[in-house]
């Protein structure tokens, strides 16, 4: 693990089957989400472990040798996943501090 977090470069916001919202939980459904390829399975597992729910490991059909981390949000919390996407785009990292900033009660 990097001292400042784990590698996570968002590929943008889209729709995917994700096991719940990272803010409120919920159930697996088609949710707004962001994803990033992870350098390896161990790094992907560390990213997913930062979340209580709403994050999972997947494999890309077009790139079966790559590990993909997906993070989802329900319609009510779309602004939260948009914020997380903004914080992690462009070859950034993801940290617990970034994730917790999305729980700010001033956001919708």
> Per-residue pLDDT tens for 15-45?
998 999 999 998 888 899 999 988 899 999 9
Q: What is the pLDDT of residue 1?
A: 46
CA distances from 33 to 1, 10, 21, 86 (A): 23, 10, 9, 12
Taking Cα atoms as reference points, which of 51, 42, 54 lies closest to residue 2? 42
pLDDT per residue as tens digits for the range 50-87: 999 999 999 877 877 889 999 999 999 999 999 999 99
Q: What is the pLDDT of residue 65?
A: 80
């Amino acid at each position: 693990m990097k001292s400042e977090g784990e590698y996570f470069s968002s590929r943008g916001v889209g729709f995917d089957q994700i096991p719940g919202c990272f803010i409120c939980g919920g159930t697996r459904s088609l949710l707004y989400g962001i994803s990033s390829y992870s350098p390896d399975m161990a790094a992907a597992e560390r990213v997913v472990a930062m979340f209580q729910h709403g994050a999972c490991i997947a494999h890309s059909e077009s790139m079966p040798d790559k590990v993909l981390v997906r993070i989802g949000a329900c319609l009510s919390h779309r602004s939260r996943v948009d914020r997380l996407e903004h914080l992690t785009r462009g070859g950034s990292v993801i940290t617990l501090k970034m994730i917790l900033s999305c729980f700010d009660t001033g956001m919708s």
